[in-house]
Amino acid sequence: MSNQILTVDCGNTHIKLGVFRDQDLVTSFRLATDPQKTSDEYAVLIRSLLAGDHLAPERFSGAILASVVPPVQPLLERALEKVLGHPCALVDAGTRTGLRLDVAHPAEVGADLICLAVAAARSYPLPAIVVSFGTATAFLAVNHEPALVGAAIAPGILTAARSLSSSAAKLPQIELAQPKTALGRNTVEAMRAGLIFGFAGLVERVVGEMSREIGRRPTVVATGGLLNLISQATRVFDHYEPFLSLQGLRYLWEMRS
C-alpha cells in the first residue's frame, strides 16, 4: 500500500490540508482558521472533506501539523487524532530538518517558515529566497549549506487593504484585482494601483536587498494563497508553488523515519 499522509499547515487566516501518496499531492483543502471551533467541529470538517474525495481515514499512515496559531494547535491535534486514530507529528524549532537555523533565536522561527525553508532547500537550486503571500508577507533566505540565514516580514496585501479602509473614513473595502493602469481614475482603481504595484515594488526591493547580501543570484520562489495578486505585477519570481508549505511538511514527515 502507498504511504498516504495528511499534511496540515495552520495559518492565521486559513488552514491548508494536503493529502500525499508517496511524493504526489493528490488533493488539497482549505478551512478558515477559527479559535472558537471545538476539536469535535474540526474533526467533523476534516472527515467530511476526506469523505468528499473518497479518502478513508484508516488508510492514512499519519498526519503532520505546522501551526502558528497557539489557541488552534491543540484543537487540531485532538481533531486529527480523532479522525485518523493516532497522534499527529508536530513541527517546531526542535524538529529534525536537515536545515540549520542560522538566526539569533532559532526557537522563534515559526513552524510555517521552517516548512517553507525545508521545501526550498529540497526542491530548488540554492541559494533561494521564498516569498510567502499570506496574512503577512514573509521573505526567507536559504543559503547553499543549506541554512536559513534570515527573514523579513511585512504586512500581507489583504491585511494592508483592510487597514487602509478601516483607518481612512472615505476609503472603502475593495476587492483586490490586477490594475490596468497606475493612473487610477476613481477611488477603487487608485487603491488597487497603490496596493498591487506598491506591493510589487516592496517585493522587488526586499528580494534585491537579500540577493545583494547573499552575494549570489538566488532562485526566487513565490508561494501562498495570495501570490496571484502580485505575480502579474513583477518579473522577480523564478518559480510559483502555491503548496510549498505542504511539500515541506511531506519532507519533514519523511525525515522522521
**Among all residues, which ones are annotated catalytic?**
112
**Alpha helices (runs of H) in 58-156, residue ranges in sequence order:** 73-84, 111-123
What is the C-alpha to C-alpha distance for residues 66 and 13, in angstroms, rounded to an integer?
14
Exposure pattern of 119-140 as b/e (b: 16+ CB <10 Å)?
bbbbbbebbbbbbbbbbbbbbb
Strands 147-155, 239-240: parallel, antiparallel or unpaired by DSSP? Answer: unpaired
As a whole number of Å, the CA-based R_g of the chain is: 19
Strand, coil or helix: 44 = helix
Cβ(207)–Cβ(222) under 8 Å? no
Q: Scan for cell 536559513, then name that residue.
A: 148
